[in-house]
């Protein structure tokens, strides 16, 4: 691997659900150490792209490379932070236990977690500013705190790439800012983050690069190149309210 090796390279990717393609001939290159937003209308293939990068979905055509390697060889370098709605928050498990889950892949099934594994879990909780909640049941946390705990689990796994599916969904503005601060700190630690995001008004502020999808890849690049009204109008099929919010507010290119 060289310094120029992409963190993620998607090549000619087509993924279908039955006869219906969710992604069609998508190619994208994501450099390491970047915070990347994936935007597009509902049903545009954003979550499908995340699942394909994780290897959860087998493509019809094409492939994904992680730091130049196949997914099978690089699997431990990619971690997933799911949508809050997909987690059973009533499960009787503590914040520290969730972070420790990230270490299970490093330990044979017959061996207990080591003191070092526990140190790593605690270190990642510190990175996301959740140490004081380590003994609290996960369901007792706010939505933003829960997202930060799952980020700690991903980092405890030792992953170089974190994939997050709508981490800002359903949280207030203060919590959104707290999550963003953790994303920035995670990027500054050398990791690459790919985030499904729905808010065009904040996309320019939050991300280094944007991927604009609607089944096909329409654009990939810095926000000022992707968030062009003409391009957005094409992708969002003339839904001008969202576009006007973008170009008239602080997200203006």
Q: Is residue 54 part of a domain?
A: yes
The DSSP bridge pattern shows strands 61-66 and 8-17 to be antiparallel
Report pLDDT digits (tens) over 225-234.
999 988 998 9
Q: Is residue 78 part of a domain?
A: yes
Q: Is residue 3 part of a domain?
A: no
Report pLDDT digits (tens) over 1-28.
455 799 999 999 999 998 989 999 999 9
Instruction: Please tell me the predicted confidence (pLDDT) of residue 172.
Output: 82
Give every CB contact of residue 56 below 8 A, 6+ residues apart in sequence: none
Q: Is residue 253 part of a domain?
A: no
CATH, residue 38? 3.40.50.300
Q: Is residue 2 part of a domain?
A: no
Distance of CA 211 to the CA centre of its chain: 12
> CB atoms < 10 A from the CB of 61, how many?
14
Rounded mean pLDDT of the chain?
87
Q: Is residue 1 part of a domain?
A: no
Report pLDDT digits (tens) over 47-105.
999 999 999 999 999 999 999 999 889 878 999 987 765 567 778 899 999 999 988 87
Q: Report the percentage of the chain scoring pLDDT > 70.
A: 89
Indicate whether this model's pTM tops 0.95: no
Print the domain residue range for 25: 8-248
Kindly tell me the burial class for residue 146, based on how many C-beta atoms sit within 10 Å of its own C-beta (0-12, 13-18, 19 or more).
buried
Report pLDDT digits (tens) over 116-160.
999 999 998 998 889 999 999 998 998 888 888 988 888 888 889
Domain count across the chain:
1
Q: Is residue 195 part of a domain?
A: yes
Q: Is residue 110 part of a domain?
A: yes
């Amino acid at each position: 691997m060289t310094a120029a090796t992409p963190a993620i390279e998607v090549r000619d990717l087509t993924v279908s659900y039955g006869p219906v393609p969710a992604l069609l001939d998508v190619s994208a290159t994501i450099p390491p150490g970047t915070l990347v937003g994936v935007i597009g209308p509902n049903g545009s293939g954003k979550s499908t792209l995340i699942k394909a990068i994780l290897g959860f979905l087998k493509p019809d055509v094409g492939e994904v490379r992680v730091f130049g390697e196949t997914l099978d060889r690089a699997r431990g370098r990619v971690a997933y932070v799911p949508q809050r709605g997909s987690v059973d928050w009533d499960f009787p498990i503590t914040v520290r236990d969730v972070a420790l889950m990230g270490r299970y892949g490093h330990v044979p099934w017959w061996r207990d977690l080591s003191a070092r594994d526990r140190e790593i879990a605690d270190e990642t909780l510190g990175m996301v500013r959740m140490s004081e909640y380590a003994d609290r049941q996960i369901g007792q946390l706010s939505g933003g705190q829960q997202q930060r705990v799952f980020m700690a689990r991903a980092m405890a796994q030792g992953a170089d790439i974190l994939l997050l599916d709508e981490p800002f969904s359903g949280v207030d503005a203060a919590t959104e800012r707290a999550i963003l601060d953790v994303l920035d700190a995670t990027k500054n630690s050398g990791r690459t983050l790919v985030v499904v995001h729905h808010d065009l008004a904040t996309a320019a502020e939050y991300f280094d690069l944007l991927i604009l999808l609607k089944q096909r890849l329409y654009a990939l690049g810095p926000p000022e190149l992707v968030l062009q009204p003409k391009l957005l109008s094409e992708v969002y099929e003339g839904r001008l309210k969202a576009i006007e919010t973008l170009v008239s507010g602080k997200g203006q290119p």
